A and B are shown apart, each in its own frame.
Chain A
């Protein structure tokens, strides 16, 4: 069977499998909404019936009204795009450096002994502690924010990359050696597929931290972005705006994580993962 035929057959099998599972999948997907919706309704009811004070704990209706107004004025889109752009830039910067340094440290014992202790030391510093320094060095505008986010994304990805390389089984590598793969072929055909699952997990962890650090970055002075909405909401006493921003963070975080998962899924279909059902 040629590689193309192989691919087609694979694809067919995959599609057939997916179709069979689809209706059930769709229902499963709804399960995730049960808790939040029940909670929101209960909250709404509690405020309506006067059980709790709505001023500091605005009910979902007020939060969504705020979101709606922000969306109508175009502000919401602006804040979302500014924050997302910051996360994207910081994440990209952090991931690229972490991947390169992690790969280097994984490939060479010398590089590892040289770099790893220092990085482990830096990792022990709570990253927010860098904020004042970054402001002094890079100013209060975009640069310092992006670098802070990059620092946040860096460590999980670096650790993931290094750990994944170090845990590649010698026995698997020997399979490549016995078939006389060149070093580039060994990397492409054995090492990359072997480290990919752990690497994807570390990317997800890094992205999560990216969303966390963008808030810290926007706290240190920003006139746009979801973090700014938080600060602004606090200063003007608008809890519904704070909750609206938090809600948007949750949605964006979930969507971007989902995109990572979806993007990597075709590369990981072979995995024999523990996936409890029912």
Chain B
């Protein structure tokens, strides 16, 4: 469905942010991308969202090459990025301006209820907590019902309790709308708890070095042995990638471990 085909991204300043990145995401799948800081995770999502252009290779959605923001692809930024001059409801309706008024109101109401903020519709963004703002940001991206939702470390700035509850929220939303999710995170537990498949990245240049098909049924027990063992596998791959980096040796690209 979403396919990233040998994509390179070199920034104008010469930084090689991505090299030969390959990734195919199936419809309705939840894919998590983990990796340390600066390994090109945000770059990957920005390319997939059509905010930046690839240097080489291409990204396709159902065969259609993505070169500019696409109506079927939503993006949740690392920060909420709510527009402070719009209320919560207006923020969520921001991407729906081409819809008739009734439909817009209905979509906004539905998604507001889904993220548990129905009573906050008329609040200003400044009146929200960080977790609430992030929920609104997710609601805003989901309101137009995109087929693919890209999330860039959406919970990284939140405390552990809020993060866990928002992860549940995200799964609820996924159950309700079944979007394809690509979730970038540096929280291995988050990846193990949420994803069907986890990809591990390594920096300079950014590329995938490992891939895990988790195959754990939902609902998952966050502290259960299945999630724990997946977590350990991912951590080991990450650790390996770090050591490999220190010793300067090359790991096999995208090898399933």
Contacts and interface: CB of A to CB of B under 8 A. Distances in A.
Chain A contact patch, size range = 20 to 34
B59 to A, nearest CB: 15
Contact of B77 (A171, A193, A270): A171
A9 B122 contact: yes
A179 B71 CA distance: 7
B132 interface: no
A175 B78 CA distance: 12
Given A174-B51, A178-B69, A180-B69, A270 B81 contact: no
Contacts of B95: 178-179
Interface string B65-99: 00011010011010101011111011000110100
A51 to B, nearest CB: 53
Interface stretch (B101-109, B165-173, B219-227): B101-109
B91 to A, nearest CB: 9
Interface in A145-187: 171-172, 174-175, 177-180, 185
Contacts of B75: 178
B1 interface: no
A174 to B, nearest CB: 6
Contact of B83 (A2, A13, A172, A272): A172
A70 B126 CA distance: 51
A13 B124 CA distance: 12
Given A1-B108, A2-B105, A270 B85 contact: yes
A272 B105 contact: no
Given A178-B75, A190-B83, A193-B85, A1 B121 contact: yes
B84 to A, nearest CB: 5
A175 B86 CA distance: 13
Contacts of A10: 87, 122
A6 B94 contact: no
A109 to B, nearest CB: 16
A3 interface: yes
Interface centre among B69, B71, B109 (most CB of A within 10 A): B69
Contacts of A2: 101-102, 105
B87 A6 contact: yes
B49 interface: yes
Nearest to A185: B97
Contact of A175 (B71, B94, B122, B124): B94
Interface centre among B79, B85, B102 (most CB of A within 10 A): B85
Contacts of B125: 270
A32 B54 CA distance: 60
Nearest to B78: A171
A172 B69 contact: no
Contacts of B122: 6, 9-10, 13
A175 B108 CA distance: 17
Nearest to A2: B105
A3 B104 CA distance: 10
Given A190-B83, A270-B84, A6 B124 contact: no
Given A1-B105, A177-B51, A179-B94, A270 B124 contact: yes
A17 to B, nearest CB: 12
Interface centre among A1, A2, A3, A271 (most CB of B within 10 A): A1
A3 B109 contact: no
Contacts of A180: 68-69, 71
Contacts of B108: 1
A202 B87 CA distance: 26
Nearest to B127: A272
A3 B101 contact: yes
Contacts of B85: 193-194, 196, 270
B83 A175 contact: yes
Contacts of A1: 89, 105, 108-109, 121
B53 to A, nearest CB: 13
Contacts of A171: 77, 79, 81
Contacts of B84: 270-272
A6 B101 CA distance: 12
6 A-B pairs with the lowest CB-CB distances in the bound complex, closest first: A272-B126, A179-B95, A193-B85, A270-B85, A180-B69, A178-B69
27 contacts: A1-B108, A6-B87, A6-B89, A6-B90, A9-B122, A10-B122, A171-B79, A171-B81, A172-B83, A174-B51, A175-B77, A175-B81, A175-B83, A178-B49, A178-B74, A178-B75, A179-B94, A179-B95, A179-B144, A185-B97, A190-B83, A193-B83, A194-B85, A270-B85, A270-B86, A270-B124, A272-B126
Given A270-B84, A270-B85, A270-B86, 13 more contacts: A1-B121, A2-B102, A171-B79, A172-B83, A174-B77, A178-B74, A178-B75, A179-B94, A180-B69, A193-B85, A270-B124, A271-B84, A272-B84
Interface of A: 1-3, 6, 9-10, 13, 171-172, 174-175, 177-180, 185, 189-190, 193-194, 196, 270-272
